[in-house]
Amino acid sequence: MSQQSLDSQFKPAGEQVDAGLIVLGSINIDLVVSGQTIPKPGETVTGGSFFKANGGKGANQAVAAARGGLCPVHLVGAVGNDQFGSNLLPELEAESRLDTSYIRAIEGVETGIAVILVGDDGENCISVAPGANHAFDRERATDGIQNCITGCNVLLACTELPLDTVRAGLEIAKSNGLLSILNPAPVIEGLQDESLLTLVDIITPNEHEAAQLTGIDVTDVASAEKAGRILQEKGVNTVLITMGESGVMLIDQQVMQIPAPTVVATDTTAAGDCFNGVFAALMCESADLATSAEHAVKAASISVTRPGAQPSIPIRHEFL
């Protein structure tokens, strides 16, 4: 299929589609220090710069979907009843098409915090204090999803929430005929349970998460296919393994490698979130798997050339 015919599946940026996307996920404040190198244990490194930005996989993915898609995006998650939570909500509310009505402010806990160290090669390490994300239970998630599910056709979930909360979202999606996409980041205890994976239509691990889920060291097409087939045997329909600069492996009935554009990375913090959010939004527009993944890879490749998580996420006309 030609590039022109691929792109013609999508509407111009000024239009909107009726079908909606639910993003069930975490909401954090990112505290980011950028320097030449990431310190080793016991080492102190000076000379870095600092900035603060909104983050969390759920929020990042919702922002990516809102900027990259045309569907209404409903973010279901939680913040603490604190200053961080109060500060980040207006910025999320300012995103076009992003509905924050189902974000709960939970008393007695703090908003999630991620401390992110970024080296000059663009690589990062992250430590997270989950706060309100881990207090967001099945009951709260169910209430939020049930209140926004009318008119929605896709649910995207990540695992920075309790597993039972994620399971609740997947169960609701299954029973209501929504396409379910699970980003298994991080890989938490119980995630390999077949009773959970049978609820998942599409799973989107990176190569490290795929290895944790399957025991297969994912380094190339053959190993990616092997890992993907194992996940399919556990009940998942389709597997998309993100592999950084090597692009994405799509394992369905067949196997397809979707290459990533060559770029100079400065910060890879939100690359996976950008991919997942844009991919889910394009699937919400009824695009096919390969086309949605191709454009999501382009969006993620743009994001790694910019600093920060949400600040790095491109808008639709930049990649489509």
Give the residue numbers marked as catalytic.
273
CB atoms within 10 A of CB 309: 28
The residues, ordered by sequence, that sit 6+ positions from 211 with a Cβ below 8 Å of its Cβ are 217, 218, 227
Q: How many degrees, rounded to 5, is the angle at CA 276 between CA 267 and CA 223?
A: 85
> Rounded to a whole number, what is the largest CA-CA distance in the chain?
54
Beta strands in the chain (DSSP E): 20-24, 28-34, 49-55, 73-80, 98-99, 103-106, 112-118, 124-129, 152-158, 179-183, 202-203, 238-242, 248-251, 255-258
Q: Do the Cβ atoms of 23 and 300 come closer than 8 Å?
A: no
- Contacts of residues 204-211 at CB distance under 8 Å and 24 or more positions apart, as own/partner, are 204/239, 204/240, 204/241, 204/242, 204/272, 204/275, 204/276, 204/279, 205/239, 205/241, 205/242, 206/241, 206/242, 206/243, 206/244, 206/272, 207/241, 207/242, 207/243, 207/244, 209/184, 209/185, 210/239, 210/241
DSSP per-residue codes, 100-168: -TTEEEETTSPPEEEEEEE-TTS-EEEEEE-THHHH--HHHHHHHHHHH-TTEEEEEEESSS-HHHHHH
Specify the amino acid at residue 160.
Answer: E
DSSP class of 198 = T
Q: How many degrees, rounded to 5, is the angle at CA 101 between CA 98 and CA 107?
A: 125
